[in-house]
Chain A
Amino acid sequence: MSEIWSALGKAMVLIADFDPDLVEIIGLSLRVSLTAVLIAAVIGLPVGAAVALFRFPGRPVLVVLINALMGLPPVVVGLIVYLLLSRAGPFGVFNLLYSPTAMIIAQAILIGPIVAALTRQTVEDLWQEYGEQLTSFGVGPGRAVWTLLWDGRFSLLTGVLAGFGRASAEVGAVMIVGGNIDHLTRVMTTSIALETSKGNLEIALALGIILLIIALGINASAYAIRDVAYRTES
């Protein structure tokens, strides 16, 4: 037990000292996950809104696909991206495997469906309420999508935050496509896995604490957003 307490103490020292290795790992983690969330939002928001508002051939298939992909295990996403990016794969020529870019791609695939599915639900509910009046205004399809995304901004932001939470916490996908290479593709979750197996509990614990703080921050933000939404929209 005392060993754990001492590791915890050393972890606190690492955090307080802004240990350069620690800062590098945290920085890469945030860069990868935030970029992935940005890409997932840029694609997922309009796709979700389009699926909610428009009827087109293949729409039911797309709905099922998005919902199914929401629960995809990260290791499977990692495996698929690995196969696509590996030398023998269709995108092998870009030489992206074991790079931060590969990790961003994997995480964007992982959370894009979450953003799209939540957007579809939010926009569909809003359309129930807004549809007739917007049609009466003479709003065209493009403007309608933009209007509904804006008016659903609080719910959608919560969805995007959930996506960021999943991306920053997953280990399977980034491990497979990133390879956990020191100073190159080592992020918080993969470091925790590695350092724990090596017995370096202080680094693992320090990173675990940071991850916990990030999770708390995400949930506090989501709570604050819901609170603002309640006070301005009820």
Chain B
Amino acid sequence: MPTHAQILPLVFDKVSYVAKGARLVDEFSVTLDPGTRTIILGPNGAGKSLVLRLSHGLLQPTSGAIRWEGPGGGNKASLHQAMVFQRPMTLRRSVGANLDYVLSLRKVPRELRRAKTAEALKRAGLFAMRSRPARVLSAGEQQKLALGRAWVMEPEVLFLDEPTASLDPAATREVENMINAIHQAGTKIIMTTHDLGQARRLADDIIFMHQGRLIERAGAEEFFEHPRTPHAEAFLNGELLP
């Protein structure tokens, strides 16, 4: 693994996000430390994706502050992050060229790019498809390509927004395996899901959100065994939240 400048921890200080008069994220405060797979859990419309986009700098908070408090957390912090979206965006180029593109953005020399691309494609199980147009791959393969492309940037933090929401079970398993492999290689995972089973399989710690608010923050085992709030308990029991 590359030596990171270390941008974590990520601190949310009373962050609110308002759009068209609606308070979609409300006084959200949390600290995210390195190491764990953090799952942001909650029903649809809880504000999970917005928190992810605010973290990654794709959106600016209406009020409050978001800080990368590690020694490397200056204005170069974005170089150490990557994000994978629910619907994978693949460039209209070959599978290999999709990886080469981000490496060239990171100014990796051409000779090195070829080797890194090949290695990343092997890790993603896509090496045999390296010359194919990326857009003809299946949804699951495209998502693995998006993950491989994020991985090749060797981020310190990887954001994932419901990465398996539109995939079948087999593809979901492969994507989850890849997420674990990326984590084991030293990357902090911050991921949203509304799928309880997935949260149980992947989470080290849970941030439970509802209606734009942080409801509960706990280690995964503690959260699933002994939820402290009625909202979390109701969600775990599969009830519809008010």
Give min CB distance, B178 to chain A, whole Å: 18
| Binary CB contact string for chain A from 148 to 164 against chain B (1 if under 8 A, 0 otherwise) | 00111100000000000
Residues of chain A with a CB closer than 8 A to B101's CB: 147
Q: Pick from A54-62, A83-91, A127-135, A196-204 the stretch touching chain B.
A: A127-135
Q: Which residues of A contact B102 (CB under 8 A)?
A: 137
Select from chain B the residue with minimum beta-carbon distance to A132. B58
Residues on the A chain within 8 Å of B83, using CB: 132-133, 136
Contact among B79, B92, B105 with A233 in the assembled complex (CB-CB below 8 Å): B92
- Are A233 and B133 in contact, CB atoms less than 8 angstroms apart? yes
- Knowing A135-B58, A232-B136, say if A130 contacts B105 (CB, 8 Å): no
Contact bitstring B29-57, A, C-beta under 8 A = 1, else 0: 00000000000000000000000010010
Question: Is A232 a contact of B58 with CB atoms below 8 Å?
Answer: no
* Bound form: Cα–Cα A234–B58 in Å: 28
Q: Cβ of A232 and Cβ of B133 under 8 Å apart?
A: yes
Contact of B78 (CB < 8 Å), options: A129, A138, A233, A234: A138
Any chain B CB within 8 A of the CB of A139?
yes
A234-B89 in contact (CB<8A):
no
In the assembled complex, how far is the CB of residue B149 from the closest CB belonging to chain A, in whole angstroms?
A: 9
Contact mask for chain B residues 74-107; partner A; CB cutoff 8 A; 1 contact, 0 none: 0000110111010001011100000001100100
Tell whether B135 is near chain A: CB-to-CB under 8 Å.
yes
Interface residues of B (CB under 8 A from A): 53, 56, 58, 78-79, 81-83, 85, 89, 91-93, 101-102, 105, 133, 135-136
For the complex with contacts A137-B105, A232-B92, 14 further pairs of A-B residues with Cβ separation under 8 Å are A130-B89, A133-B85, A135-B58, A136-B58, A136-B81, A136-B82, A138-B79, A143-B105, A150-B93, A151-B91, A231-B136, A232-B133, A233-B133, A234-B136
